[in-house]
Structure 1
């Protein structure tokens, strides 16, 4: 790999991959080289739109492309594990959309493949890198809200009810938990670390066998701070992330997973707002981290370490088991 350039390939050139490609202009040394899709025209259009050099009509051709150093995986959830493992075995670094896999055993396979290939892999949990959450952590470290007593997080939207859409398909690992609830859990774990213990959960499971609406109470970290979360594909919420404390609270405003504003509310004091706009669209921070780790010869990032991905995945496995959601390929 050149000392200062990371040549990127993309698998699954859809909506989220467009956002990835757009952010590369803000990452020194990042260059989009190629894209692959089972629909060759889709890959061709993506490369033309974003200034890439070539396209591939199958994934294997991209794995064999010697001009690619790292691959961004943006396929449906159910394909993540196999695609990531094949990319790692081909000698590529991997940034794979969240959830990294659909269950913990699959994630363990991915990390084993990364170790065997001596290649970097990271779940693309871009929200962990946003400047607004760095400010939230500073306020917590300074004790600005006193003793933390709880977390409340909502992620809900009214998805059009198309049962052929990936979100409603069990064979593609659809459902509210893996698509949006993961943000509530992962960001809580990011801020408070430690074990995740499911206290209570309930869900509305639709005709296709996926969780369409899900609630959970989860103890987070050594202090067992309670997360109360609600994830939904059928209801639109004010999608905030709120940390409650003995002396006040911190509110990451809607939509919290893509927010540029946090508000510190201390009792008896005027609110303090922190604004943290992006350079491009927020994806640039995770790409910078991948390239930093690659240049340093690291296999994982300390912002989204493998242990964190596994902890969150095991928690979600436990929740799915409790509400009776199992994918047909498991």
Structure 2
């Protein structure tokens, strides 16, 4: 693999799959060789659009394709456990969209399966691979704003979304939290790790998914994170990190920023801008590049998106849903060990 293109399979053919495939096409060391959908005509159309050599009408055929080095799973998150599981069990490496799974139990099952088969597995948390977010994290870790005291982040879409929309469908893991709230939670935990306490409230739809959710995360060291997500109103989609000696403000689109501003006590604000060479702010290429780097060096997980970090985020999302009263079909009321946290 070190001397040839990495051969990708794409599982699912929706909008995020198309966006990812378009970025793969622009990478000289990546090649889309196969695509799968449960609708053969959709797979064939996607393959023609992006130059894939093979189109499959089922997941199992893609998973069994020995010429596929890694599969990008882009189904709704309600199907991530099944889709990624089929691929890992067949010996394929996997990049799986976020939210990684419906809950921490399913996430743990995928991690165990990857370890059993010695395969690479990574959540497609593109924010963690973004060069500017990596720069922000490094500044915080280097003490640029002192000890982190608070994190604030929000992500809301205006809607309204009809009852038939996937975001309102409990069977598809609908609601604001898993689709949008995963970003504020992941941003806070990127900087502070897994919280020691979780409080949350939601406004629920008639179907029982969260239309909007507010969460307060706390750490024993004294830090707090106030987070919000919504599919009932468009928010600023900004983030801010306040420390004992300053703060960092990230403007709209905090999870794929084009700039952020560092405010250090007693000094003029400093603006950090994205390098135009890194591509458009909406590019998913950075996570693809990280996957290919790891595959070429024989790693089974990425240091940028470590599996334990993904599991920790899923535990927090479970705890938020528990506090807010959001349950998906087939979940027991006390199914997740993480919910014991206060």
Q: Distance in 1 between matches of 2:130 and 2:2?
A: 28
List aligned pairs for 1:46-85, cutoff 5 A: 46-85=46-85
List aligned pairs for 1:32-111, cutoff 5 A: 32-111=32-111
Q: Match for residue 318 of structure 2?
A: 317
For residues 195-245 of structure 1, the C-alpha deviation after alignment (integer angstroms, 9 at most, x for no partner) is 32334211001101111100010025x634211001111011111110012
Q: Tell me, which stretches of 5 or more residues in structure 2 are unaligned?
A: 332-342
| Runs of 4 or more consecutive aligned structure 1 residues displaced over 6 Å after TM superposition | none
Normalised TM-score (structure 2): 0.91
Mapped contact 1:263–1:273 kept (Cα < 8 A)? yes
For residues 132-154 of structure 1, the C-alpha deviation after alignment (integer angstroms, 9 at most, x for no partner) is 11221232233222332201101
127-136 or 59-68, larger mean C-alpha shift? 59-68
Mapped contact 1:9–1:32 kept (Cα < 8 A)? yes
Mapped contact 1:198–1:318 kept (Cα < 8 A)? no
319-328 or 23-32, larger mean C-alpha shift? 23-32
Normalised TM-score (structure 1): 0.94
Q: Match for residue 218 of structure 1?
A: 217
Would you say 1:148 and 2:144 are equivalent positions? no
Mapped contact 1:198–1:315 kept (Cα < 8 A)? no
Mapped contact 1:71–1:92 kept (Cα < 8 A)? yes
Q: Match for residue 237 of structure 2?
A: 239
Q: 1:265, CA displacement in angstroms?
A: 2.1
Q: Match for residue 335 of structure 2?
A: none
Mapped contact 2:161–2:167 kept (Cα < 8 A)? no
- Residue 224 to residue 32, structure 1, CA distance change in 2 (3 Å): farther
List aligned pairs for 1:137-286, cutoff 5 A: 137-193=137-193, 195-220=194-219, 223-276=221-274, 277=276, 278-280=278-280, 281-286=282-287
Q: 1:26, CA displacement in angstroms?
A: 4.4
Mapped contact 2:38–2:58 kept (Cα < 8 A)? yes
User: Is the partner of 1:179 in helix, strand or coil?
Assistant: helix
Mapped contact 2:249–2:261 kept (Cα < 8 A)? yes
User: Is the partner of 1:256 in helix, strand or coil?
Assistant: coil
Q: Distance in 2 between matches of 1:140 and 1:324?
A: 34
Q: Distance in 1 between matches of 2:82 and 2:44?
A: 23
Q: 1:282, CA displacement in angstroms?
A: 2.7
Q: Distance in 2 between matches of 1:24 and 1:180?
A: 24
Would you say 1:292 and 2:307 are equivalent positions? no
Q: Distance in 1 between matches of 2:7 and 2:142?
A: 40
For residues 151-208 of structure 1, the C-alpha deviation after alignment (integer angstroms, 9 at most, x for no partner) is 1101111123211111111011111111111111112111222x32334211001101
Q: Distance in 2 between matches of 1:205 and 1:215?
A: 12
Mapped contact 1:241–1:253 kept (Cα < 8 A)? yes
| Matched length | 328
